A and B are shown apart, each in its own frame.
Chain A
Amino acid sequence: MRKSTNTDRANMAKLIPPLSILGGLVIWELFVKISGYPAFILPAPSRIAQRFVSAAKAGILWPNVWVTFYEVLLGLLIGCAAALVIGYILAHSPVAEKIVFPYVVVSQAVPLAAIAPLLIIWFGSGIRPKIVICALTVFFPLLINILVGYRELETNLSDLFTSMKAGRKARLIYLEFPGILPVLLGGLRISATLSVIGAVVGELSGADAGLGYLINISRGQYDTALVFVALIMLMVIALFMYGAVILLERKVLIWKIGGRM
């Protein structure tokens, strides 16, 4: 008897988050109805949903979603690869760390939104500068996580590899990469959503495609409902990226979770 009330309670608890969102939407809808604000100031959720359907039908939604998604993903991959290579070099050479690290820190002190126009001057208004911005956005947090991962590798394990006379490659494959992976994936979780911000910042400073571009255009036409549609799609991309990293973690860190091979 007691057990069943407990599971009932657990099921109820699972329902609370979606109900909370639903409640928020209802309040929003009612607020717009009662206050009578025009749609170009605050569109109701129902209006945003209609705009979503019409934009999708008109073919202006999915191509832009795809462009932004492509920038986010490619930027993340390039930034991650660069952080891995540079992290490896910095972790293995104190001299290189002394030479390179000031640049890394200084580059982080410059707000990315401020250098976005510069990148657009250099790389044009296509997707290339946006990929660069995404890569720059994710590079620093990933690099820091990689360096922390290296620092936390146990010296005992490193001694083991020394006693086995392991080469660089064997160390990288069996010790360093798997050893930093948990911290790297933690950084990737944050970076996956940061990358979306990078892409939008790039698109807002000059683009001919993407969700940032869509926001700029619809804002100019007071099509506020379409601005919201674009915002929601950005959220969806960010959540998708985040979820993908979580799935990857579950798969790759199975030894940590304790499951069978």
Chain B
Amino acid sequence: MENDTLLEARHIQMTFESKEGGLHVLEDISLTLAKNEFVCLIGPSGSGKSTLVRILGGLLEPTGGKLIYPGGREPDPRAIVFQNSNLLPWLSAADNVALPLLVQGISKKDARAEAEKWLDLFGLGGFADEWPNNLSGGMAQRVAIARALIQKPQLLLMDEPLGALDAMTREQISLELMAFRERIDATVLMVTHSISEALLLSDRILIYSGRPARIIDDMKVPFPRPRQPELRDTIEFMSMSKIIRKKIFGQES
């Protein structure tokens, strides 16, 4: 089991210096991610989850604790899907998806062909030449997810990727993600506020508490994969979501 660990975060602390002294965003976070595991991190907003994602993504150096890679090598590539789609407004949808390949120096033609393939998979084949400003929120976030997946990431971090979307689009994309989940070899950590999203997609759910920020529970999701959307209507699913809800709200005082 130890050999299957891709990444281990040990006692991560993060303090931002400010004029009034240090702002402790993360006090003591420890977690492990196994290879090819889909983990959801669920908890209240404003509790440093985005900071944790940035640390795991290598964008931010923690002020305490460390990241350990049992395989000896950092996961590469690490792709991040941000809360807002974070598309470059001056590149077409296809060029946005192709961007990671272009950055690696892959020829424009090949990158573009690969990008169009990914857009097709997300049902956006007709929008390849569209500017991001002309895309709806759901389309833009699909493009952002395609841009992450085209990198064939070893570690995929998603920071509330569906948080800014309306309920219907949100559900639709989470079903698409569920289907993709079976096709990609990646370790995924997804931050979400939706219990049913977490139950539908993940192998494991980390329940996160704000102030002080720590992980208060680590639950295996018992449903076999691949999963179907109908799973959500089963009694097992509903009772699981009740347990999680209790754990999230039970610890609030």
Using a CB–CB cutoff of 8 Å, the interface residues on chain A facing chain B are 154, 156-157, 159-167, 170, 174-175, 178-179, 181, 255-256, 258, 260-261
* B134 A258 Cβ-Cβ under 8 A: yes
* Residue in A159, A163, A258 whose CB lies within 8 Å of B133: A258
* A166 B88 Cβ-Cβ under 8 A: no
Closest residue of B by beta carbon distance from A163: B80
Residues of B in contact (CB 8 Å), total 28
Chain A residues lying within 8 Å of B151, measured Cβ to Cβ, are 164
* B82 A160 Cβ-Cβ under 8 A: yes
A108 to B56, CA, bound (A): 46
A202 to B35, CA, bound (A): 69
CB distance from B124 to the nearest CB of A (A): 15
* A164 B99 Cβ-Cβ under 8 A: yes
**In the complex, the 6 A-B pairs of residues with the closest C-beta atoms, listed nearest first:** A178-B90, A170-B103, A166-B103, A255-B131, A163-B80, A255-B90
CB distance from A249 to the nearest CB of B (A): 13
Closest residue of B by beta carbon distance from A182: B90
* B102 A156 Cβ-Cβ under 8 A: no
Chain B residues lying within 8 Å of A162, measured Cβ to Cβ, are 58-59
CB distance from A168 to the nearest CB of B (A): 11
Judged by a CB distance under 8 angstroms, whether B140 is at the interface is no
Please judge, given known A-B contacts A160-B82, A255-B89, whether A165 and B77 are in contact too, CB under 8 Å: yes
Please judge, given known A-B contacts A163-B78, A164-B100, A164-B151, whether A157 and B86 are in contact too, CB under 8 Å: yes
* B103 A161 Cβ-Cβ under 8 A: yes
Chain B residues lying within 8 Å of A157, measured Cβ to Cβ, are 86, 88
9 contacts between A and B (CB under 8 A): A159-B82, A160-B82, A162-B58, A163-B58, A165-B103, A166-B103, A255-B90, A255-B133, A256-B89
* A163 B59 Cβ-Cβ under 8 A: yes
* B86 A156 Cβ-Cβ under 8 A: yes
Closest residue of A by beta carbon distance from B151: A164
Please judge, given known A-B contacts A157-B86, A178-B90, whether A260 and B59 are in contact too, CB under 8 Å: no
CB distance from B76 to the nearest CB of A (A): 8
Chain A residues lying within 8 Å of B79, measured Cβ to Cβ, are 163-164
Instruction: Name the residue among A157, A167, A255 with the largest chain B CB count within 10 angstroms.
Output: A255
CB distance from B18 to the nearest CB of A (A): 17
Please judge, given known A-B contacts A156-B82, A178-B88, whether A258 and B131 are in contact too, CB under 8 Å: yes
Contact with A along B124-153 (1 / 0, CB 8 A): 000001111110000000000000000100
* A261 B92 Cβ-Cβ under 8 A: yes
A255 to B89, CA, bound (A): 7
Closest residue of B by beta carbon distance from A160: B86
Chain A residues lying within 8 Å of B102, measured Cβ to Cβ, are 170, 174
Chain A residues lying within 8 Å of B65, measured Cβ to Cβ, are none
Please judge, given known A-B contacts A156-B82, A159-B54, A163-B57, whether A260 and B88 are in contact too, CB under 8 Å: no
Judged by a CB distance under 8 angstroms, whether B195 is at the interface is no
Closest residue of B by beta carbon distance from A175: B88
Judged by a CB distance under 8 angstroms, whether B47 is at the interface is no
Closest residue of A by beta carbon distance from B134: A258
Judged by a CB distance under 8 angstroms, whether B84 is at the interface is yes
Chain A residues lying within 8 Å of B129, measured Cβ to Cβ, are 260-261
A230 to B31, CA, bound (A): 76
* Residue in A174, A179, A256, A261 whose CB lies within 8 Å of B99: A174
* B80 A160 Cβ-Cβ under 8 A: yes
Please judge, given known A-B contacts A156-B82, A258-B134, whether A174 and B89 are in contact too, CB under 8 Å: no
A166 to B106, CA, bound (A): 13
Chain B residues lying within 8 Å of A161, measured Cβ to Cβ, are 103
A255 to B57, CA, bound (A): 30
A160 to B147, CA, bound (A): 11
A206 to B67, CA, bound (A): 68
CB distance from B128 to the nearest CB of A (A): 10
